[in-house]
Amino acid sequence: MKDSIFGLANKTALVTGASRGIGRAIALAFAQAGAEVFICSRKAESIEAAAKAIREQTGARVEWMAADVSQRQAVDQLAAEALRRMGKIDILVNNAGWNIPQAIDEIQDKDWDYLIELNLTNCMRLTRAIVPDMKKRRWGRVIHISSMMAMGSTPKRNAYSATKAALVGMARASALDLGPWNITVNCIAPGPIATEMPMTLLSKEQQEQMTQRTALGRWGQPEEIAWPTLFLASEAARYITGQVIVVDGGCLARII
């Protein structure tokens, strides 16, 4: 697997928001595929524990740093530290993100600004900081974790849908910027995945409604996002760029 066209032998990846949920599953899948991995989240204790667990499970080199990627300065420090300690970054996954549900006439400026910074601006800033290193080797993968809420929406998802759709637009533009350096830029758009974020924000009734919307009749698991992300990161996906892969158990297939 590690040395196959679907593997990540000799690659180094940076994954944001990887102490739990989708980010952690991506870091684990990358490590299993042979990559060295640098992970971050806000809480030192939980990101250190995640790094230790992935290291023990895979034998891979896994480094960590506590960084709040809603803060511009922290993003700059994260990029510098990841490059310094790992020597190179071949694969960047902008995964950390959040949602604050507010209807259009309820939006608080501070909450809007926070989501724009975390879900969009700092994905740009981290990409901008890492891409020059990828250019040196004429090889790179940038993957933004968007959402099916980029393509459709639900009440009170204004900032969330706006930022997740913007990631898709940004991926198309930067795929064109970076194609000449053999760097691909894509998005994964997850549907309902059983992690802390939706479980905290949705009522039991809304969770059940979401189950009914899927074709498969269930919520997805974090590894079901990690595997398509691994594919996009691998050599096997080298001719895919500027795209969004929807991984939603069939939610968006349904009209009624």
Q: Which active-site residues does the annotation give? A: 160
Class of residue 34 by CB neighbours under 10 A (exposed 0-12, middle 13-18, buried 19+)? middle
The stretch near ligand NAP (CB under 6 A) out of 7-15, 89-97, 100-108, 226-234 is 89-97
Residue 121: CB minimum distance to ligand NAP, A: 12
**Binding status of residue 165 toward ligand NAP by CB under 6 A:** no
Residue 136: CB minimum distance to ligand NAP, A: 27
Q: Hey, which residues between 168 and 197 contact ligand NAP (CB under 6 A)?
A: 190, 192-193, 195-197
Measured between alpha carbons, how far is 37 from 31 in angstroms, rounded to an integer? 7
- Per CB under 6 A, the list member of 118, 129, 131, 244 interacting with ligand NAP is 118
Measured between alpha carbons, how far is 67 from 42 in angstroms, rounded to an integer? 5
The stretch near ligand NAP (CB under 6 A) out of 61-69, 131-139, 175-183, 237-245 is 61-69
**Binding status of residue 31 toward ligand NAP by CB under 6 A:** no
Tell me how crowded residue 256 is: count the other CB atoms within 10 A of its CB.
2
Q: What is the DSSP string of 97-145?
A: -----B-TTT--HHHHHHHHIIIIIHHHHHHHHHHHHHHHHT-EEEEEE
- Per CB under 6 A, the list member of 70, 161, 186, 234 interacting with ligand NAP is 70
**Binding status of residue 145 toward ligand NAP by CB under 6 A:** yes
The stretch near ligand NAP (CB under 6 A) out of 26-34, 41-49, 100-108, 228-236 is 41-49
Tell me how crowded residue 106 is: count the other CB atoms within 10 A of its CB.
10
**Binding status of residue 129 toward ligand NAP by CB under 6 A:** no
- Per CB under 6 A, the list member of 6, 98, 139, 227 interacting with ligand NAP is 98
Residue 139: CB minimum distance to ligand NAP, A: 25
Place of tokens 């511009």: 72
Tell me how crowded residue 43 is: count the other CB atoms within 10 A of its CB.
12
Give the CA radius of gyration of the chain. 17
Beta carbon nearer to ligand NAP, 90 or 160: 160
> Cβ contacts of residue 205 below 8 Å, gap of 6+?
none
Torsion of CA 23, 27, 29, 30, to 10 degrees: 130
Beta carbon nearer to ligand NAP, 42 or 61: 42
**Binding status of residue 43 toward ligand NAP by CB under 6 A:** yes
Residue 40: CB minimum distance to ligand NAP, A: 6
**Binding status of residue 125 toward ligand NAP by CB under 6 A:** no
Residue numbers at the binding site for ligand NAP (CB under 6 A): 16-23, 40-43, 46, 67-70, 95-98, 118, 145, 147, 190, 192-193, 195-198
